[in-house]
Amino acid sequence: MVQTDICIIGAGPAGATAALQLAYMGIPCVVVDKAVFPRDKVCGDGLSGKVLTLLSRIDPGIAERLQQYVFKEDSWGVTFIAANRMSINIPYKPGYEKLPGEPRGFVCKRIHFDNFLVEELRRCPQVQLIEGKSITKYDLRPDGYLLTDASGSLQIRTKLVIAANGAHSGFTKDVAGIRMEPKHYVAGIRAYYSGIKGLHADNLIELHFLKNVLPGYFWIFPLPNGEANVGVGMLSKVARRRKINLKQLLLDAVQSDPVLRERFRDATLRGNIDGYGLPLGSKKRRLSGERYMLVGDAAFLIDPFTGEGIGNAMYSARMAAQQAAACIAANDFSAATMLAYDANIARVLGPELTMSTRLQKLIRFPWLLNMLMRLGARNKELQELMTCMFHEVDLRKKLAKPQFYLRLLLGRGLRP
Ligand SMILES: Cc1cc2nc3c(=O)[nH]c(=O)nc-3n(C[C@H](O)[C@H](O)[C@H](O)COP(=O)(O)OP(=O)(O)OC[C@H]3O[C@@H](n4cnc5c(N)ncnc54)[C@H](O)[C@@H]3O)c2cc1C
């Protein structure tokens, strides 16, 4: 029997971040994960600037150690490729060529990135990490939760639960009552290849909006040592309706698409092609209740347009840790008090999720992306605007409005 004020279920990016933030505030916690680290997690392995920003807010030392981590590849931006095969390169930061040493994002296999975070946890005396135990029972009692693992050999008494156990969280389903809805969920698969030709010299990640994958995309994310993460993500509702086998879709794309076939001619598939779900933040949900908060994928917070979930998982986890500190200080774990966490999520992540939901709906129309690429290829102003989209939610708002495309077609200025 383990006794604690705060138990975090899951030590992925969300769980580890919550524990690191608590440790930084001097608050002890127990973190329990069903896996033993290092462990893999099916993912595109793309990490946006949000990750470093968030870690440096917790402790600049952690961000610095991640900057020096050898298992990652720095990436300077994104190449968008429309169905008509026209493409534009959009750097994360305007003029990045002039600022070497300041990457805005990177690609790192999850077996390495998640282990980096867990190693950080191991440095914290306030964190008790329990590995290899799957929590399957959650009993709410007057003084807190009694959590039990699948074998019955571990019991944890805790005043508060932070559920960070990912896309298939039993806690989310059984306690919070949130279920998978195919229109708010993406099915994704990823493979590792080596020897793909034509990767960008600055490791721009590639999003290919192939016609038969919309609304979703095929991606190539460059990794260290000439490897790349290659995958496909597609709205589950559409994949089910069209009875699509994603593995076959990926293999068909690299074998039959005229451009990709050439680039993959000498490439080698390394290991298996694996799949996992992406719970999207395209619907507002209640993420807390009496004595609990949901974070990361367990809270359905993945960006519906980009598929980015790690950054949002870490942002939500830090907010949950701060809320947990307030609950402990006030000795108040009521559902009403926990609403402050929901309000914070809505304030910080809400506007971005709303805009991305609109953009996700727009990319269903291949002609729209084709047009954007055609105009973007020769319109510097549009390229700059898309660069700023990465940091400015207000600009995403603009991209989600029909008037924007009308102005574009009429050749009018894009900024007010
Ligand atoms: C194909 C694919 C591609 C993706 N590409 C990207 C990308 O490029 N960039 C990006 O930002 N995001 C991407 N995502 C999303 C990203 O993987 C998730 O958003 C991210 O992993 C969420 O982190 P998390 O900590 O909430 O959950 P997870 O990373 O899933 O961690 C959950 C942890 O909980 C543990 N656990 C589960 N159940 C239990 C239990 N009962 N008891 C104890 N422990 C438990 C697991 O072992 C795991 O360690 C992708 C997802 C998929 C499927």
Please indicate, yes or no, whether residues 126 and 242 belong to a single structural domain of this protein. no
Q: Is residue 359 part of a domain?
A: no
Q: Does 231 contact ligand 1 (Cβ within 6 A)?
A: yes
Q: What is the mean pLDDT of residues 73-95?
A: 83
pLDDT tens column, 235-257: 999 999 999 999 999 999 999 99
How much is the average pLDDT of 104-110? 91
Which ligand 1 atom is nearest residue 233's CA? 1
How far away, in angstroms, is 256 Cα from ligand 1 center? Answer: 31
Asked if residue 379 belongs to a domain, the reply is: yes
The residue from 229, 251, 279 where one domain ends is 279
| Alpha carbon of 139 to ligand 1 centroid (Å) | 24
Q: Using the predicted structure, report yes or no on whether residue 211 has a pLDDT greater than 90.
A: no
What average pLDDT score do residues 142-154 get? 97
Q: 299 and 213 in one domain?
A: no
14 and 31 together in one domain? yes
Residue that finishes a domain, picked among 228, 257, 279: 279
pLDDT of res. 352: 86
- pLDDT at position 86 is 84
- The three state secondary structure string of the chain is CEEEEEEEECCCHHHHHHHHHHHHCCCCEEEEECCCCCCCCCCCCEECHHHHHHHHHHCHHHHHHHHCCCCEEEECEEEEECCCCCEEEEECCCCHHHCCCCCCEEEECHHHHHHHHHHHHHCCCCEEEEECCCEEEEEEECCEEEEEECCCCCEEEEEEEEECCCCCCHHHHHCCCCCCCHHHEEEEEEEEEECCCCCCCCCCEEEECCHHHCCEEEEEEECHHHEEEEEEEEEHHHHHHCCCCHHHHHHHHHHHCHHHHHHCCCCEEEEEEEEEEEEECCCCCCCEECCEEECHHHHCCECCCCCCCHHHHHHHHHHHHHHHHHHHHHCCCCHHHHHHHHHHHHHHCHHHHHHHHHHHHHCCCHHHHHHHHHHHHHCHHHHHHHHHHCCCHHHHHHHCCHHHHHHHHCCCCCCC
Same domain, 186 and 170: no
**Between 99 and 182, the higher pLDDT residue:** 182
Which atom of ligand 1 is found nearest the CA of 48? 11
The CB of 308 under 6 Å from ligand 1? The reply is yes
- The mean per-residue pLDDT over the stretch 338-347 comes to 97
What is the structure's pLDDT at 15?
98
Residue 355: what pLDDT? Answer: 81
- Mark whether 119 and 260 lie in a shared domain: no
Residues 289 and 187 occupy one common structural domain: no
| Same-domain pairing of 291 and 175 | yes
Q: Give the number of domains in the chain.
A: 3
pLDDT tens per residue across span 4-46: 999 999 999 999 999 999 999 999 999 999 999 999 999 999 9
Confidence of residue 414 (pLDDT cuts 50, 70, 90): low
- pLDDT for the residue 416: 45
Q: Answer whether 303 contacts ligand 1 (Cβ < 6 A).
A: no
- Ligand 1 within 6 A of 310 CB? yes
pLDDT value of position 369: 75
Q: What is the pLDDT of residue 377?
A: 73
The stretch 294-313 carries a mean pLDDT of 95
Indicate whether residue 157 lines ligand 1 (CB < 6 A). Answer: no
Q: pLDDT at position 103, please?
A: 57
More confident residue, 89 or 331: 331
216 touches ligand 1 (CB under 6 Å):
no
Q: Among 78, 133, 165, name the best residue to mutate to test ligand 1's pocket (greatest count of ligand atoms within 8 A of Cβ).
A: 165
Q: What is the CATH number of the domain that holds 196?
A: 3.30.9.10
Within a domain: 20? yes
Position 314 in a domain:
yes
Ligand 1 pocket residue status of 304, Cβ below 6 Å: no
- Residue 227, pLDDT above cutoff 50: yes
Range of the domain at 377: 365-409
Q: Report the pLDDT averaged over residues 171-190.
A: 97
Q: Is the Cβ atom of 296 under 6 angstroms away from ligand 1?
A: yes
**Of ligand 1's atoms, which has the minimum distance to the CA of residue 149?**
42
Mean per-residue pLDDT for 120-126?
97
Q: Are residues 291 and 171 in the same domain?
A: yes
142 and 122 together in one domain: yes
pLDDT for the residue 306 = 86
Q: Is the beta carbon of 45 within 6 A of some atom in ligand 1? A: yes
Residue ending a domain, among 245, 279, 313, is 279
**Would you say residue 334 lies in a domain?**
yes
- Check if 11 has its Cβ closer than 6 Å to any atom of ligand 1: yes
- Give the CATH number, domain containing residue 158: 3.50.50.60
Asked, for residue 136, whether it belongs to a domain, the answer is yes
144 C-beta closer than 6 A to ligand 1 = no
pLDDT at 96: 66
* Residue 315 sits in the same domain as residue 170: yes
The minimum-distance atom of ligand 1 relative to the CA of 312 is 19
Average model confidence (pLDDT) across the chain: 90
- Lowest-pLDDT range of 20-29, 87-96, 131-140: 87-96
What integer is the mean pLDDT of 157-165? 98
Whether 101 shows a pLDDT value over 60: the answer reads no
Ligand 1 pocket, residue 307 CB under 6 Å: yes
How would residue 407 be classed by pLDDT, with cut points 50, 70 and 90? low
Q: Are residues 371 and 333 in the same domain?
A: no
Mean pLDDT, rounded, for 150-178:
98
Ligand 1, atom 51: nearest CA belongs to which residue? 43
CA of 209 to the centre of ligand 1 (A): 24
One domain, residues 158 and 230: no
**pLDDT at position 394, please?**
59
Q: Flag whether pLDDT at 406 surpasses 70.
A: no
Percentage of the chain with pLDDT > 70?
89
